[in-house]
Amino acid sequence: MILDGNDPREVREAARALAAGELVGLPTETVYGLAANAHDDVAVAAIFAAKGRPADHPLIVHVLGPEQAEHFAVDIAPFARQLMARFWPGPLTLILPRRPGVGDAAAGGHESIGLRCPSHPVAQAVLAACAPLGVWGLAAPSANRFGRVSPTCADHVVAELGASLRILDGGACPVGIESTIVDCTRGAPVLLRPGHVLPAEIEAAASVALVPAESVAPTQPRASGTLEAHYAPSASLRLMDAKALQTALDLLGADARHLAVYARTVLRSRSEHIVWRRMPSDAAAAAQQLFATLREFDQRGVRLIWVETPPADEPWDGVRDRLRRAAAAA
Mean pLDDT of the residues in the chain:
94
Residue 186, class by beta-carbon neighbours within 10 Å (0-12 exposed, 13-18 middle, 19+ buried)?
middle
User: Parallel, antiparallel, or unpaired: how do β-strands 60-62 and 2-4 relate?
Assistant: unpaired
The pLDDT of residue 137 is above 60: yes
pLDDT in tens, 172-196: 999 999 999 999 999 899 999 999 9
Phi and psi at 23, nearest 5°, equal -100, 150
- For the domain 2-215, what is the CATH code? 3.90.870.10
Average pLDDT, stretch 200-217?
Answer: 88
* Cα–Cα distance for residue pair 38/186, rounded to 1 Å: 24
The pLDDT of residue 227 is above 70: no
Domain map of the chain by residue range?
2-215, 236-328
* 282 in Cβ contact with 176 (< 8 Å): no
- For the domain 236-328, what is the CATH code? 3.40.50.11030
* Cα–Cα distance for residue pair 302/290, rounded to 1 Å: 16
User: What pLDDT, on a 0 to 100 scale, did the predictor assign at position 183?
Assistant: 96
* Cα–Cα distance for residue pair 186/28, rounded to 1 Å: 28
User: What pLDDT, on a 0 to 100 scale, did the predictor assign at position 150?
Assistant: 96
DSSP 255-290: G--SEEEEESS----S-S--EEEEPPSSHHHHHHHH
